[in-house]
Amino acid sequence: MGQQKTILRALAGETLDVPPIWMMRQAGRYLPEYRATRAEAGDFLSLCYNPELAAEVTLQPIRRFGFDAAILFADILLVPQALGADLWFVTGEGPRLSTITGDADFARLKPVSDIHETLNPIYETLRILSGALPRETTLIGFAGAPWTVATYMIAGRGTPDQAPAHALMTQNTAVFEALLARITEATIEYLCAQIEAGAEVVKIFDSWAGSLKGAAFDKYALAPAREITAALKARHPGIPVIGFPREAGEKYIGFHQATGVDCVALDNSVDPEWAAANVQIDGCVQGNLASRHMVTGGEALVSDTRRIVKAFSGGPHIFNLGHGITPDGDPDNVQLMIDTVREGASA
């Protein structure tokens, strides 16, 4: 039954008449049922670490929209917390962490072998979902890429240009590279545990990959993705991996082959026609409708959705946004997007 799931077929390289579809951040604040469950949990981290409630919000968009995949509800910063970083969220501002700025800070991190004690509730969420999802729905696990996670651990928060991480990269390269290595090792263990708990696909989110240029991209975005992908496939043969080096631009070219991922997720800064000619030639692509359409809707949503479906119709494609849906997204626009993607099925 597994290989009949449309997303697994696309990831295996099959070109489908109607692309499968899911949406980044599909479980989130744009849904009233999510907001109600979040209120029940009390706060964001309590929701992440409550397997029953985390499974519930993961299932909500599947019940409402019938997406072809459910993605685990969690957060990329749970790995730093599991490594010993302090983590909290400031309402209206986002995450805050204790910082890694030198040798002493790095020395206080926990060994990778200790992370599962913190992350066990996440694995339980996956086990619940494995039994609760419709048989045709693929279960996706995920983690942040080492560079992106490191930017938060170094700065203690999200930053517009990742300047603190770039500064540590040049001023204390040894600590910077040791931190990336620790995150890489932890990510491998975390994703392997997710797979063992029921994830059928895993995705590596490198949200800040675009701030790495030239050789730095190759060393700190591409190489860790290759290491993680190789380790996952060695321990779990056949597991599909999606890589998302957001805003990689020309560096999207060759990313499949350089890293071994089965699918490259594309942000909406690249034209789908360009991506079809330069990226999809190497394998499955995912994307890449602009998230703003989930707010504004209308004919622009329909026309851009059709353009993307047409551009990628010659090869394996998973329809998605170019980034996550924002809290002001309209569920009616999500339904319009899905109906537009799937209109070929009844045409």
Decide if 38 is catalytic. yes
Which residues are bridge partners to 241 per DSSP? 202
Select which of 25, 182, 292, 342 is catalytic: 25
Decide if 75 is catalytic. yes
Decide if 262 is catalytic. no
Decide if 35 is catalytic. no
Residue 145 φ/ψ, nearest 5 degrees: -70, 155
Select which of 9, 29, 64, 235 is catalytic: 29
Q: Which of 216, 290, 205, 215 is nearest to 245 (CA)?
A: 205
Residues 3, 76: Cα–Cα separation, whole Å? 28
Residues 114, 19: Cα–Cα separation, whole Å? 40
Select which of 34, 123, 152, 220 is catalytic: 152
Select which of 30, 49, 68, 75 is catalytic: 75
Decide if 342 is catalytic. no
Q: Which of 131, 323, 341, 285 is nearest to 208 (CA)?
A: 323
Residues 13, 316: Cα–Cα separation, whole Å? 5
Select which of 30, 34, 38, 342 is catalytic: 38
Which residues are marked as active site?
Answer: 25, 29, 38, 75, 152
